[in-house]
Amino acid sequence: MNHKVYLAVDLGAESGRVMAGVWNGRKLRLEEVHRFPNGAVALGETIRWDVLRLWAEIQNGLTLAGKKFGKQIVSVGCDTWGVDFVLLNKQDELLGQPYHYRDVRTRGALGRAFRRVPRAEIFAQTGLQFMELNSLYQLLAWQEHSPAILDTADTLLFMPDFFHWAMCGAKRAEFTIASTSQCVHPLKRDWALPLLKKFGLPTHFLPEMVPPGTPLGKFRQSLAERTGLAGVNVIAPPSHDTAAAVASVPTANTGRANWAYISSGTWSLMGVEVKKAVLSPRALELDMTNEGGIDGTYRLLKNIMGLWLVQQCKRSFDAAGEKYDYAQLAALAGKAKPFRSTLNLNDPRFVNPPDMSKAIQEFCRETKQPTPKTPGELIRCCYESLALKYRETLGSLEELAGESIEAVHIVGGGSQSESLNQLVADACQRPVLAGPVEATAMGNLLTQVRVDSELGSLAEMREVIRNSIVVKTYEPAVGNEQ
């Protein structure tokens, strides 16, 4: 049988890959075509993204996919992390190397912004959680140190939009990725122009916004020749990786908010799927966020510092000559004494410390808790801090959504962490359903399948997920709640 093939370019903070989705009309089988590293690049006193190298790797992946699948390939779409962007001038030249969201130039940006426009007014216009890394504060940083760059810019493209432009020449802002910027009105589903003008920010470079599932065009002729992929369509999927991941949650309860999700990776995004953005004073008080989803839905969620803690601890251990893989670290954590110390995950010292282990130890000493010393103790501290934060967030989500949450779906790479999954089930006293691991790629790919008229709704997409993977359930241990 000549199956159809769709390609997902999926870029995360640590790595990127080109994934093929082989569709047989009922199930989607994933195949990794090309994987490559990603990460911050130090440049002077700043940190940036090397988008040209990423584009070179994407082209390598597309070429490999062409050699393997040829004319079976129907379309390609890109998804990435949120908030970061590229600026192009009128000649389509890059204006500087794009900044990384952890760059220090936005430190203190919230206080400076609130002195110009009240916090409540920003929330009413955007519905977004307040984080210094949001695109709004990145633009304000440009305004402070390089206003001429903003004046010269002709087009702002978020990361997936930039790679779509590189593929086909379309300059569009896909809604789900734009919604992470704190520059979009959550009810009008378009740019929050009055707010941006109140900040004195130029808006001439903001492109037309389009919903997920929008066809953008065919490959540039030059790209088709380089990759051997003539006639391939470029589709804007849910281009924010979390939006794509949530689209692939294997729930049978689409349309209800009685289940929560955790998109677990470098960040943990915990939320519920709602039909309308929640802009109440209580949502503002709880610092919740409303980001765009597929089919007009919103993701009412909390951005939580996720497995970044564990990733950076591992980096500290590696630098000290203690080499462990993640499975070994999880095993060591399982042997460590439980609930000795917990972290405030909102503490800015954990955003990008030189040594995460030392930052955790410093926090514990300052808060007069036992100081974790061994790798197992440090990782256990990270896991337990995450599980308790999830429990706190679960209560906030139930309050705002007005429904009792019956189960928690964990999707993405973090769903492979069995010890963390069980801690979450115990802390939240809810069943945890883990999988799919490749949630982002599957949400991206199934949107393309749907555009190709193979599927009719978000519920049908999720039915395909249930047909295509095995979901593992973790039941809460009675009496283990903390």
The predicted-structure confidence for 459-477, as pLDDT tens digits, reads as follows 999 999 999 999 999 999 9
Residue 480 has pLDDT above 60, yes or no: no
Kindly state the average pLDDT of the residues 48-72: 97
Q: What is the pLDDT of residue 139?
A: 98
Contact status, residue 166 vs residue 55, Cβ threshold 8 Å = yes
pLDDT score recorded for residue 189: 95
Mean per-residue pLDDT of the chain? 96
pLDDT at 479 over 70: no
Percent of the chain exceeding pLDDT 90 equals: 95
- Is the bond preceding residue 436 a cis peptide, omega within 30 degrees? yes
| DSSP track, 385-401 | HHHHHHHHHHHHHHHHH
pLDDT band at 478 (very low <50, low <70, confident <90, very high): confident
> Is residue 254 helix, strand or coil?
coil
pLDDT at 128 exceeding the cut of 60: yes
Residues 6 or more apart in contact with residue 261 via CB below 8 angstroms = 245, 246, 249, 269, 270, 271, 272, 273, 408, 409, 410, 411
Between these two residues, 255 and 75, which has the higher pLDDT value?
75
410: nearest Cα among 251, 277, 290: 251
Judge contact between 17 and 36, C-beta under 8 A: yes
CB-CB contact of 216 with 157 (8 Å):
no
User: Taking 70 as the threshold, does the pLDDT of residue 1 lie above it?
Assistant: no
Phi, psi (5° rounding) for residue 48? Answer: -130, 175
Catalytic residue among 10, 161, 241, 295: 241
**E strand or H helix at 198:** helix 193-198
Asked if residue 361 has pLDDT above 80, the reply is yes
pLDDT value of position 2: 76
HSE-up (13 A, CA, CB side) for residue 105? 23
Helix (H) or strand (E) holding 46: strand 46-48
Q: What superfamily in CATH does domain 4-239 come from?
A: ATPase, nucleotide binding domain (3.30.420.40)
Q: What is the pLDDT of residues 390-418, one digit of tens each?
A: 999 999 999 999 999 999 999 999 999 99
Residues of the chain with CATH 3.30.420.40: 4-239, 240-482
pLDDT in tens, 159-217: 999 999 999 999 999 999 999 999 999 999 999 999 999 999 999 999 999 999 999 99
- In this structure, which amino acid lies at residue 356? M
Confidence of residue 362 (pLDDT cuts 50, 70, 90): very high
**Residue owning tokens 């002709």:** 154
pLDDT category of residue 42 using cuts at 50, 70 and 90: very high
H helices present in 193-307, as ranges: 193-198, 221-227, 241-247, 281-285
The architecture that CATH gives domain 240-482 is 2-Layer Sandwich (3.30)
Does the structure show a pLDDT above 80 at 481?
no
426 a catalytic residue:
no
pLDDT at 318: 96
